[in-house]
Amino acid sequence: MKKRQYEIIDCHIHPFLSKNANFEYFSSSSTPDKFVEILKRAGISRACGSIVKKMEKSNFKDIHKLNNDTFRFRDRYPDFYIPGIHVHPDYPDESCAEIEKAYDNGVRWIGELVRYMMGYSTYTSKGAFQIYKTANKLKMPINIHLFSNDEAVEICRAFPDLKVIIAHPGSDKTIIKERIELISKFKNLYLDISGSGPNRWGMLRYAIDKAGKNKILFGTDFPLCNPAMYVSGVDFEPLNEKEREAIFSGNFKRLTGLK
């Protein structure tokens, strides 16, 4: 394994405590201990993300339970796991209270938010904007699984200081280029490379040249994707060590204020 002078922090994982929150495609026999072991074996020092569960329609009790499971996972792996919480735009008052409580409990990350998994339909409703106002006040970044670049534009224009991270570059060349163009235009918009990121040769070099090294965050979407492939993908691209460090952990630490 390559020796480094910096950490690798994965900003996009989905841990689990119960099998119905385990989204591995080809196995459902893993345990939380195995989950953490695999990430560490890939060279990842710490990891952040939300516990997700498929819900046709959720109420805030469902969201609160997932967040409680997130804290339980952190208590189990305190030196490895950095919690990411859920919110729900149909319940803005409850969500804002949850954010405030989580912030007081050391949480500095919201998401990944995945509306099609969590039973709501939009990221740009009045309730969602109320939530973003609270997140912005506390300087908490939000990682969002977008379905339209227009959503990102609307959020960033309404909240120019809110730190918004687009989850996944996308798999289509046009979509990837559009998202890189977007993060280059909005100072508060970033991109995590989970999903179909580093498997597109040259994407990272292109993204840094267009948007700068401070706009890209390392993520894997584990357990959906093989984390070692993402580490190797960043290492294999023609980047210098300052660029790699920014992607692997520097940008995450700067956005969250975590040491």
| pLDDT at residue 10, as a whole number | 98
HSE, side-chain direction, 13 A CA sphere, residue 62:
16
| Cα separation, 152 vs 179, whole angstroms | 9
**In the chain, where does DSSP find H-type helix?**
32-41, 60-76, 92-104, 115-118, 126-137, 149-158, 173-185, 203-211, 227-236, 241-245, 251-256
Q: Do the strands 81-83 and 46-49 form a parallel or antiparallel pair, or are they unpaired?
A: parallel
HSE, side-chain direction, 13 A CA sphere, residue 183:
29
Is residue 57 scored above 90 in pLDDT?
A: no
| Cα separation, 88 vs 123, whole angstroms | 9
What pTM did the predictor assign? 0.96
Give per-residue burial for 55-81: e unless 16+ CB within 10 Å, then b. Answer: eeebebebbbebbebbbebbeebeebb
How high is the mean pLDDT of the chain? 94
Which tens digits make up the pLDDT trace of 66-112? 999 999 999 999 999 999 999 999 999 999 999 999 999 999 999 99
Q: Is 149 exposed, middle or buried (0-12, 13-18, 19+ CB in 10 A)?
A: middle
The domain locations on the chain are 9-256
Residue corresponding to tokens 């969002």: 144
Q: pLDDT band at residue 54, thresholds of 50, 70 and 90?
A: confident
Which tens digits make up the pLDDT trace of 4-32? 899 999 999 999 998 888 888 887 668 99
Q: In what order do the strands lie in the sheet with 110-113?
A: 110-113, 142-144, 164-167, 189-192, 216-217
Helix (H) or strand (E) holding 222: none
Which tens digits make up the pLDDT trace of 141-174? 999 999 899 999 999 999 999 999 999 999 889 9
Q: Determine which of 69-78, 101-110, 119-128, 195-204 has the lowest per-residue pLDDT on average.
A: 195-204
| pLDDT at residue 92, as a whole number | 97
Mean pLDDT score, 58-68? 91
Is residue 256 scored above 90 in pLDDT?
A: yes
| pLDDT at residue 3, as a whole number | 81
Q: How many residues does this entry show for the chain? A: 259
Mean pLDDT score, 176-205? 93
| Cα separation, 59 vs 64, whole angstroms | 9
Choose between 192 and 172: higher pLDDT.
Answer: 192
The CATH fold of domain 9-256: TIM Barrel (3.20.20)
Mean pLDDT score, 37-61? 92
Q: pLDDT band at residue 250, thresholds of 50, 70 and 90?
A: very high
| pLDDT at residue 204, as a whole number | 96
| pLDDT at residue 24, as a whole number | 87
| pLDDT at residue 28, as a whole number | 62
| pLDDT at residue 68, as a whole number | 97
Q: Is 159 exposed, middle or buried (0-12, 13-18, 19+ CB in 10 A)?
A: middle
Mean pLDDT score, 226-238? 96
The maximal CA–CA distance of the chain, rounded, in angstroms, is 48
Secondary structure string (H, E, C) spanning 159-208: CCCCCEEEECCCCCHHHHHHHHHHHHHCCCEEEECCCCCCCCCCHHHHHH
Q: pLDDT band at residue 1, thresholds of 50, 70 and 90?
A: low
